[in-house]
Chains A and B, each alone.
Chain A
Amino acid sequence: MMNFFYTYQSLFDHILVNALLAMSQYVVLRAGVFSLGSAGFAALGAYCTAILITAQAWPPVAAIAAGTVLGTTASALLALPLARLRGVFQAVATLAFVQIVLSATQNWESLTHGALGINGIPHVAGTATLLGVVVVVVLLLVTMGRFGLGRAMDVIREDEMVAVSLGISVPYIQRFAFILSGALAGMAGGLHATSSYAITPNDYGFGLLVAALAMVVLGGRTSVWGALVGAVVLISLPELFRVFADYRNVVQGILLMTVIIYLPRGVADTLISMLRDRRLRHEVVPEKP
């Protein structure tokens, strides 16, 4: 058992970091914001953490906290212009943000060492730390979904016209979701930097943006479990089928298309609603005439 664990430890760490990123994507989608910004906030968090540790000799915990704060601040600033946009325009605006961050990491060589990236980051975020953080974030997001805030987010996502007719302040709730998403992505970035020895701009490019979105679509958009399931499936499948390594992107694409066509609500959401329907059938009471 322990041997199995050590063999796959790095894969497990990778899944946990990506689960955080998926949850950052999940939060915005749940509130009906079509943001692709998570990859950009993760890059900010990762570079901030890595630079503070390697160049400024900050204690790692403080550096990760600073990375999280930077992700939060950036999302809070970006939320202002974003509130005026809707749907696909939000996607384009956040995509532009990711591009800006990316070209900064590639070209601001004095700070980021350009394409070489930053090496020699101490490996301080172990499996236990990552697992702890993921558990706390899952608990937080599950809790959020159970009360008024979660209900308001659901209404906004499903039907904005109903939301305003119920007195829900759409910009306020969406801004909150977006900032929370930035905080989670910033933290995911900081933890990624401190669990992988080195980071390069390529780690946070278009690939990560697509992965964050794919994990949530694969798992399901309405519950936190969707993001978790998506991270586990999307990150572990290519590792388990190493023989197809050359076709990694093809396999991923086929997997996504299959899920979108046959399980449009995602793996976890479909399972959850199936279980709920079954439970209801068991306790069904004949309706009064």
Chain B
Amino acid sequence: MRPTLELENVSRHFGGVPAVDGLSLSVPAGQITGLIGPNGAGKTTVVNLITGLLHLTSGRVLLDGNDVSRAEAPELARAGVARTFQNIRLLPDASVLDNVLSGFHRHERVGLWANLLGLPSARIETAHLKEEAMQLVERFGMTNLAKHRAGGLSYGHQRRIEVMRALAMKPRLILLDEPVAGMNDAEAESLSSIFRSVAAEGVALLLIEHNMRFVMSLCSHLYVVAAGRLIAQGDPQKVSSDPIVVQAYLGS
């Protein structure tokens, strides 16, 4: 079976400086793949390239075998590519529920006029999506916070809302950009069990982290980048004992 996402020799230069340089990787469905590397390695650039926020200098990105190298961000989102942001980007004044609801956009089928006039089709759709959103909120243990302002909640809660919004898209591929940064171990553990269950549903997950310990327990395959280049890959045990990886992380 083809992997959900494939990067073939992908490069991105900023004014001649390569942020990502000849990177190839694949993210299969039903698994959690890790992309790790020290700060400034180009991890977030990779996410922005895959989601169409940035465009490639060279190489190809394939989504289920289709070339999406030139696709714009909204097209990719509609094709089922979801992401979370490293620096949390929520609607701070909207409620938790409304933040999650915004993730359902790609599944909304009701037209502008039905929305404007409040026709029954729009009412039914929103009622239905609210139910689904509440189920998500419940799965993340935040039912009693559903009506609260997202901006007033703790860091850990806000990260969870980001993940909920991405899951609301019912994506085929999720890019998680440091989803547990700033969380304590218990919070991170509850989130990783959710990631495992999402993978079990057949979704492809790409986890971007620099927290080695968290990645080790969760990922089936790891890619290590440093200065925009792939320096190692393989199963977590093998990668963590690779001297090149140790050197990149600890310096020489």
Contact = CB atoms under 8 A, between A and B. Distances in A.
Interface of A: 140, 143-144, 146-152, 154-155, 158-159, 161-162, 164-170, 176, 180, 222, 265, 273, 276-277, 280, 284-285, 287-288
B191 to A, nearest CB: 16
Contacts of B165: 166
Contacts, number: 103
Contacts of B102: 151-152, 154-155, 162, 166
B220 to A, nearest CB: 26
The A interface is mostly helix, strand or loop, or mixed, namely helix
Contact of B105 (A159, A168, A280): A168
Interface residues on B, range: 35 or more
A177 B36 CA distance: 42
Nearest to B77: A167
In the complex, which of the residues B74, B104, B144 has the most CB atoms of chain A within 10 Å of its own CB atom?
B74
Contact of A288 (B91, B101, B141): B141
A162 B74 contact: no
Contacts of A152: 102, 105
Contacts of B85: 162
Nearest to B51: A165
A143 B93 contact: no
Interface of B: 51-53, 72-75, 77-78, 82-83, 85, 89, 91-94, 98, 101-106, 108, 110, 112, 115-118, 122-123, 125-126, 141, 144-145, 147-149, 165, 169
B106 A147 contact: no
Nearest to A151: B102
A167 B110 contact: no
A147 B105 contact: no
B83 to A, nearest CB: 6
In the complex, which of the residues A143, A170, A285 has the most CB atoms of chain B within 10 Å of its own CB atom?
A143
A166 to B, nearest CB: 5
B53 A144 contact: no
B110 to A, nearest CB: 6
A166 B52 CA distance: 12
Contact of B147 (A143, A161, A166, A280): A280
B91 A147 contact: no
Nearest to B141: A288
Contacts of A158: 91-94
B105 A148 contact: yes
A148 B94 contact: no
30 contacts: A140-B116, A143-B115, A144-B118, A147-B118, A147-B123, A147-B125, A148-B108, A148-B110, A148-B122, A151-B102, A152-B105, A154-B102, A155-B91, A162-B85, A162-B91, A164-B77, A165-B53, A165-B77, A166-B77, A166-B103, A166-B106, A166-B165, A167-B74, A167-B75, A167-B77, A167-B106, A276-B147, A284-B144, A285-B144, A287-B145
